[in-house]
Structure 1
Amino acid sequence: MEKVCRDWAKQAFGEGLVKAEYWNDFETNAKAAAAEVFRVKNFAEGEAKLQELLKEYADRTGGGIMAVGGEENPALKGIYDRIAASGTAVYTDKFDIYEHRATADIGISTAEFCVAETGSLCVDNYSYEARVATMLPYVNIVFVNANYVVENVSVACKIIGRVFDKGYLGFVTGPSRTADIERVLSLGVHGPNKLLIIAVEDFGEGN
């Protein structure tokens, strides 16, 4: 899967810019933006939480699940394989994701780091399949390293400036929303109706 940066921790972070101590501010601001945030110790707990969420939205898994990030993280690949083995269609290949882009209502993806000031996720969506999995489904479930939090947008842009040459990066702050029509807030008009964040403390290799 194409990415703007293959290893954000080694190539972009450093100089104390990324600190776990900003987590509480991120969580507070993410929830204020209508995201749901779940902090877990490891991928085993993350998988258990994911299974809970999939049961909650079981009526939306009939069209299958689009899932990205498994190529870079073996733990995620194992989770995707086990979900598929249980009988739910999980599309990880970019051609399969393209074919089922209109029917899959759940997308599972990853983020590079969190921004405490705004409760945002920085997503490296250079690849087509990552953009589709995060923008088209009704529910977007995002795995992120709970220790990768920056203080504000200025720091986030400094980090991005170290590695960006070409591609597609974005900041995701809560589910899609608009108030264009009579100033009435609506969710899910231009993207996912639900943003569910699973923050893993021990993210392991391949992050």
Structure 2
Amino acid sequence: MSEKLVNEFIQKAEAAAAKVTRVKTLDEAYREVLNIIHEAQVHEVGCVATDMTQGLFPLLKEQGIKAIAEGAPRDLARLEIGIVPVDVGIAETGTVAHDATDLYSRYFSMLCPVNIVMLRTSRIKENMTEALKLLENSGIYPAYMAFITGPSRTADIERVLTIGVHGPGRLHIILVDEGE
């Protein structure tokens, strides 16, 4: 992990209106996720089940928060927060990217007004070329890849910038230093 790349990533992501928090361990990341959920005062969240989030599910349950990992699209559309581990970060633009071939991974990163992503700092690369090499070397060949740079924004209605129209209005990126 290069501190220079991590700092550049944080700077670029924050410039794109993402809120970035850096933690040392997954346990700290889980506490940060719980803080965001409590701040939003929600009791149901969408959460992609992976090795990175497996320890989060019991904590959510313990806090009385229902974690939904799958379901019908009409039921998922009501969720306020989606939690998605991402595969790679791109320092040059402050972008995160993940294999969104799985429908629920796509839903939770695109439909929920608040998107919480978790990224290991060791997976931050300098640019798109390096990010794609990392994915290829990891054996990830997605049919659908999502690239996220800050909250959703558009200015296609009378050139007035509007946040959250075509996706999440808030993006929280939790960087985890703990190794893979």
TM-score, with normalisation over the residues of structure 1? 0.79
The residue aligned with 2:112 is 137
What's the CA shift string for 1:126-153, capped at 9, x where partnerless?
1011001110001000011012111112
Give the match for residue 167 of structure 2: 191
Quick check: 1:19–1:148 contact (8 Å CA) kept in 2? no
Q: Give the distance between the partners of 2:141 and 2:12, measured in 1 at CA.
A: 30
| In 1: Cα distance, 2:20 partner to 2:7 partner | 11
Q: Which residue matches 2:50?
A: 71
Structure 1 portions without partners, runs of 5+: 1-17
> Which residue in the other structure is 1:87 paired with?
64
Change (3 A) 1:184 1:37: same
Q: Check the 8 A contact 1:97/1:129 in 2, yes or no.
A: no
Which has the larger strand fraction? Answer: 2
User: Deviations 1:137-178 (Å, cap 9, x if unpaired)?
Assistant: 010000110121111123223444554655111211001000
List alignment gaps of at least 5 residues for structure 2: none
Structure 1 residue identity aligned to 2:56: I
Q: Percent identity at matched positions? A: 34
The two structures have a TM-score, normalised by structure 2, of 0.90
Size of the aligned set, in residue pairs, is 179
Q: Could you report, residue by residue, the CA deviation over 1:4-50 in whole angstroms, capped at 9, with x for unpaired residues? A: xxxxxxxxxxxxxx745411110000000010000001012112211
- 1:98, CA displacement in angstroms? 3.6
Partner of 1:107: 82
Q: Aligned runs of 1:16-35 on 2, under 5 Å?
A: 19-35=2-18
CA RMSD of aligned residues (A): 1.9
2:127 pairs with 1:147: no
